[in-house]
Amino acid sequence: MHISSLSIRNFRNFYNSKFIFKKGINTIIGENGSGKTNLFFALRVLIDDKLPRYIRFYESDFNRSLGKWAGHWMILAVTFEELDASEEAQVLAVQSSGDMEGNKNTGSYSVYFRPKYQFRKELYDYSQTAGKTVEGLQLYLDKLTVDDYETSYLCRGTGDFSDDEIYKKYVGDFEAVKFPNPDNKEELIFGTFLPREISVHNEVSCTFIKALRDVESDLRSYSTNPLINLLRGKEKTVEISKQTDIIKSIDKLNDQISSLKEVKEVKDGIDKSIKEAVGTTYGPNIDVKSELPNDMEKLLQSLKLWVGDPDEEGYMGKIWELSLGGANMIYLSLKLLEYEKIRTDRIANFLLIEEPEAHIHTHIQKTLFDNVQTNKTQVIISTHSTHISSVSRISSVNILSRGKKQTLVYQPANNLDDEYITRAERYLDAIRSNLLFAKGVVLVEGDAEQILIPQMFKKVFGISLDEIGVSLVNIGSTGFKNVARLFHNDRIKKNCAILTDLDASIVDLPANENEDSTYQKHCRASQVSGAERKEKLDKFCKNNDFLNPFYSDYTFEVDFLMNGNSHEFVESLDEIFKQQAAIDSSKKKLQDKSVSVAGVEVLRLADKKGKGWLALVVADNLVYNTYIPDYILRAVAFASAHLNNATKAKTAKYRLRKIGRSKFDEYFETAKKTSFKGKDDQEVIDEYVASFPNDQFTKFLWYL
């Protein structure tokens, strides 16, 4: 049995969220504050016997996007798949309308935090009155407190309360003032109470390992040490003759220890002290004896785990000598082994691990979660580690993204064919998987773009792409489609811009292609390929609001140069040439206004040293008024739709300072007269746009 989905309604970060899980290892990816801990708490309320049987919820537990929470329900609902035939598992099996047998392989379990019956009845009665109004409804809701709520645990329900229509029908439509009659049990939707003798918390095993958990104390404890559980019962398989020999040896050893002269001296001293204090009439007789356990079960339970560093061969020490990371790694391994080998009496095993990267080294993260095999245990890991996410199957990944007063949940593999899932998983290494964490994504196809675009954005606008939550990812030769298809209304609902080249010829081409020179043939072929690429990419992105392609006319280097950025290349020439004559010749060509001269020269430089190397050199010579090509500006703006006013205002102030220090800037005089002192963020933005209508940042704001 494993969890296939978790639905959360109106609980903390989650207004209306549904998680999809697979057998084996599942990964929850999310930025700080996106609700990973709250997700685990919701799961634990349903399956972890370490929490109180009936959780008390508070006003603050309702999702803030509700505004007024009174009358709304908090609903946590989990769906199980592959139920076995045991009675404990089958009590969870859902029942379908018209089918008393129901689905024996699928089960459900839900927690409802809802107003008590009498208040639900009042809401229903009011909704049946002719003169009902939203204002009149509010009078009933204003009376409600959390003390008027009850917590109900039900199983076998089929209602998906992440569906707004289901929620309105069976909980209530607050805008239309429509509420259901609580006398209608609707057991097919809500479920039924569990039999008294069965508790889900007692029938499944659940271990929650929080990010900063002290696993050393767990490994010392009799009740939580997985090593003891692994050893439990093993005494029954030890041969009787061996048990007898061991017990005789223990008894002999106890006698030897007890009869030591040093032990007897301590015993006599204690006995004498007591007798002198209270007398021989009331003083107890004292002895000191060795009590090494001579019971096989207790002997095995006394075994301790000793560990050694792989770089310090021959030395073994106690578990507490390890770092927290080492202890966590051992604890995780023992717990998985325990669940896989020992816990046969439970109908399911669940291991919830919060941010293992808090203590586990990056290489171990990848190895541990890439190699671990689970047959009887479902593992759910929360992380913001790209190393763990890079080895996670995207079919078992849920992505959390912070929205306005709520967390949004995405499944990147939803409605994707297995072939495309496999391609994407092969591509998402630890570097590229950061796109799963971003608020917006820009895909590029070369090293030069990967190096220069983030640097020019930082230099021109005073903020980094990382700061605004935009990941720029170099696709290389993989092809945009393998990754871009993750961004879709069915999957990751975040903007993804695609940057590529049209590769238009930088030299004039004869009307008759048979008259092409070798260089012209090359240019013509690139131009044809660029046009075909645009046609295919436009078709691929059509009707997808989360994808948008942006094209350079020529190539990145040529377009960057021809947008008035010859200074950046000219300043880099002394890194490329040693002779002054070569520098002067190249400088003249780079400053030429014709693309057939300047474009040819910049591509020659790129071929001479490599595009990546040239980009690194040029990056050192970027300035605040380096001109970002329009197609790049539009692409980054598309990926930055989430940008807030605080960031915009910060950039406006940065630009104002830079312009005000440059006498040669066309806006120098305007900048000296402009002040943002005492203005709020929106006022700063408005004044900047009005004062600098042709500035790059003003254009960027318009594109947003």
Distances (CA, A) of 48 to 112, 131, 209, 218, 328: 17, 47, 12, 17, 20
**Stretch 582-605: mean pLDDT:** 95
Q: Are strands 99-115 and 149-155 parallel, antiparallel or unpaired?
A: antiparallel
Distances (CA, A) of 208 to 35, 478, 654: 16, 39, 46
How far is Cα 439 from Cα 495, in angstroms, rounded to an integer? Answer: 8
Q: DSSP character for 59?
A: G
DSSP H helical segments within 283-393, as ranges? 296-301, 324-341, 362-371, 386-390
Residues 228-254: b if buried by 16+ CB within 10 A, e if exposed: bbbbeeeeeeeeeeebeeeeeebeeeb
The helix (H) or strand (E) run that includes residue 1 is none
How far is Cα 263 from Cα 137, in angstroms, rounded to an integer? Answer: 81
The helix (H) or strand (E) run that includes residue 665 is none
Residue matched to tokens 């029954």: 236
How far is Cα 586 from Cα 609, in angstroms, rounded to an integer? Answer: 14
642, 579 Cβ separation under 8 angstroms = no
19, 5 Cβ separation under 8 angstroms = yes
Confidence grade of residue 100 (pLDDT, cut at 50, 70, 90): very low
Q: What 3-state class would DSSP assign to 537? A: helix
How far is Cα 79 from Cα 102, in angstroms, rounded to an integer? Answer: 14
The helix (H) or strand (E) run that includes residue 234 is none
Of 93-107, 188-202, 582-596, which has the strongest mean pLDDT? Answer: 582-596
Please report, as a single letter, which amino acid is at residue 258: S
410, 418 Cβ separation under 8 angstroms = no
The predicted-structure confidence for 421-443, as pLDDT tens digits, reads as follows 888 877 776 566 788 888 999 99
In 82-213, DSSP assigns E strands to: 93-96, 99-115, 149-155, 204-209
The helix (H) or strand (E) run that includes residue 623 is none
> Which is nearest to 436 in space by CA: 381, 480, 398?
398
**pTM surpassing 0.85?**
no
The predicted-structure confidence for 496-532, as pLDDT tens digits, reads as follows 999 999 999 999 999 999 999 999 999 999 999 999 9
Q: Biggest alpha carbon distance in the chain?
A: 126
The predicted-structure confidence for 158-213, as pLDDT tens digits, reads as follows 999 999 999 999 999 999 999 999 999 899 999 999 887 788 888 888 888 876 55
Q: DSSP character for 639?
A: H
pLDDT top residue among 642 and 373 = 642
Q: DSSP character for 195?
A: P
**Model pLDDT, residue 228:** 63
Confidence grade of residue 328 (pLDDT, cut at 50, 70, 90): low
**Model pLDDT, residue 348:** 87
SS (H, E, C) 667-702: CHHHHHHCCCCCCCHHHHHHHHHHHCCCCHHHHHHH
How far is Cα 193 from Cα 187, in angstroms, rounded to an integer? Answer: 9
Confidence grade of residue 302 (pLDDT, cut at 50, 70, 90): low
116, 126 Cβ separation under 8 angstroms = no
285, 253 Cβ separation under 8 angstroms = no
Q: Is the pLDDT at 325 greater than 70, yes or no?
A: no
With a CB cutoff of 8 Å and minimum separation 6, the contacts of 548 are 495, 496, 497, 498, 541, 635, 638
The radius of gyration of the chain's CA atoms, rounded to the nearest angstrom, is 34
The helix (H) or strand (E) run that includes residue 477 is none
The predicted-structure confidence for 404-423, as pLDDT tens digits, reads as follows 889 999 999 999 998 888 88
661 torsion bin: left (phi>0), alpha (psi -120 to 50), beta (else): alpha
Confidence grade of residue 313 (pLDDT, cut at 50, 70, 90): low
Q: Counting Cβ atoms within 10 Å, is residue 311 exposed (0-12), middle (13-18) or buried (19+)?
A: exposed
> Which is nearest to 290 in space by CA: 264, 313, 258, 245?
258
Q: What 3-state class would DSSP assign to 473? A: strand
How far is Cα 560 from Cα 346, in angstroms, rounded to an integer? Answer: 64
Strand order across the beta sheet in which 496-501 lies:
470-474, 440-444, 496-501, 547-552
**Model pLDDT, residue 321:** 47
* DSSP secondary structure, 160-172, as one string: -TTSHHHHHHHT-
pLDDT top residue among 188 and 477 = 188
39, 400 Cβ separation under 8 angstroms = yes
Please report, as a single letter, which amino acid is at residue 579: Q
How far is Cα 42 from Cα 519, in angstroms, rounded to an integer? Answer: 65
> Which is nearest to 160 in space by CA: 119, 125, 191?
191
pLDDT top residue among 700 and 25 = 700
Structure tokens, 206: 């659940």
How far is Cα 558 from Cα 555, in angstroms, rounded to an integer? Answer: 5
CB count within 10 Å of CB 425 equals 19
**Model pLDDT, residue 242:** 78
The predicted-structure confidence for 219-252, as pLDDT tens digits, reads as follows 566 566 666 666 665 656 667 677 777 788 888 8
The predicted-structure confidence for 340-364, as pLDDT tens digits, reads as follows 776 567 888 898 988 876 655 555 5
Q: What 3-state class would DSSP assign to 548? A: strand
The predicted-structure confidence for 652-673, as pLDDT tens digits, reads as follows 999 999 999 999 899 999 999 9
Mean pLDDT, all residues of the chain? 86
Q: What 3-state class would DSSP assign to 3? A: strand
389, 432 Cβ separation under 8 angstroms = no
How far is Cα 443 from Cα 445, in angstroms, rounded to an integer? Answer: 7
How far is Cα 319 from Cα 161, in angstroms, rounded to an integer? Answer: 46
